[in-house]
């Protein structure tokens, strides 16, 4: 969610419970603009909040010219002072998946593994010491998991150049209302998986400059997204049932879209039994 349009964007997603006080919104917007200047980011997105037991993490992402390049992620506990998170690694994600329960709200808090799968035990205990993971590492791994699973964009909002870099499409004027209500009109903004498995016949109708990502229509389990019309049918809102708290909005026929997460950072493993 763009820092410059944050107050108006938050008004469009409050139906999902994603809210900040007017004072917090004002402080956050000013802080993010300073963050963009100090770190010389081309764009800054407000990613959302992960609520801990003793505090809340406010998350921002800094972007460069290539929107598909790894993003710089920062967190704050007060919306004023920001700390840069370390780059995520595959090991961080594996370790974070072993942890259950709420975040504490303390970046230096250390978790001990209580339940470790047999196939992971040998690798995690290689040095003979009980492995520990700091909450800061769990935080960046969880953000990465959420971004990969439910970070989405409208079809046509970004273009892929012949050299492989991804840039915003200046000619994007929004989806029509009819298209905006279809899951096939939204893409996961991450490395595609299902696209590689499509046949040549299926790829024949795709535009390689815009259809270079996986759409939401084949997400597993089916039914993990809800699509609703709000604000007098002027705003299309998608909510994830897999990562409760993720809300995406788009105003048809305009360039206005974005997603934000307000939740506890816990995946809804009960979803298959709820559908």
- Domain-wise residue ranges, the chain: 5-149, 152-257
User: Is there a contact between 167 and 161 (Cβ–Cβ < 8 Å)?
Assistant: yes
User: Is there a contact between 189 and 151 (Cβ–Cβ < 8 Å)?
Assistant: yes
Say yes or no to pLDDT of 59 above 60.
yes
Instruction: Determine the pLDDT at residue 240.
Output: 94
Closest to 186 (Cα-Cα) out of 223, 225, 220: 225
Instruction: Determine the pLDDT at residue 131.
Output: 67
For all residues of the chain together, what is the average pLDDT?
A: 85
- The CA distance from 173 to 176, in Å, is 9
Confidence of residue 125 (pLDDT cuts 50, 70, 90): low
- The CA distance from 44 to 60, in Å, is 7
Closest to 149 (Cα-Cα) out of 193, 179, 101: 193
Q: What residues does 59 pair with on adjacent strands?
A: 48, 75
Confidence of residue 201 (pLDDT cuts 50, 70, 90): low
Confidence of residue 214 (pLDDT cuts 50, 70, 90): confident
- CA–chain centroid gap for 162, Å, is 26
- CA–chain centroid gap for 50, Å, is 12
- The CA distance from 261 to 46, in Å, is 9
């Amino acid at each position: 969610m763009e820092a410059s349009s944050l107050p108006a964007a938050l008004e469009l997603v409050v139906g999902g419970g994603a809210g900040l006080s007017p004072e917090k919104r004002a402080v956050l917007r000013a802080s993010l603009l300073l963050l963009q200047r100090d770190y010389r980011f081309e764009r800054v997105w407000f990613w959302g909040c992960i609520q801990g037991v003793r505090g809340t993490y406010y998350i921002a992402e800094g972007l460069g010219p290539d929107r598909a390049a790894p993003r710089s992620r920062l967190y704050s506990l007060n919306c004023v002072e920001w700390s840069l998170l370390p780059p995520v690694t595959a090991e961080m994600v594996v370790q974070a998946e072993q942890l259950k329960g709420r975040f504490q709200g303390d970046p230096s808090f250390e978790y001990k593994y209580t339940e470790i799968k047999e196939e992971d035990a040998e690798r995690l205990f290689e040095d003979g010491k009980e492995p520990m993971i700091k909450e800061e590492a769990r935080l960046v791994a969880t953000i990465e998991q959420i971004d990969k699973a439910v970070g989405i964009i409208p079809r046509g909002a970004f273009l892929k150049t012949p050299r492989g870099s991804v840039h915003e499409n200046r000619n994007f004027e929004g989806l029509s209302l009819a298209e905006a209500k279809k899951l096939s009109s939204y893409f996961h903004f991450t490395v595609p998986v299902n696209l590689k498995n499509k046949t040549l016949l299926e790829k024949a109708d795709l535009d390689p400059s815009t259809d270079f990502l996986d759409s939401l229509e084949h997400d597993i389990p089916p039914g993990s997204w809800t699509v609703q019309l709000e604000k007098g049918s002027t705003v299309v809102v998608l909510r994830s049932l897999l990562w409760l708290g993720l809300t995406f909005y788009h105003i048809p026929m305009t360039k206005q879209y974005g997603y934000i997460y307000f939740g506890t950072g816990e995946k809804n493993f009960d979803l298959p039994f709820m559908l």
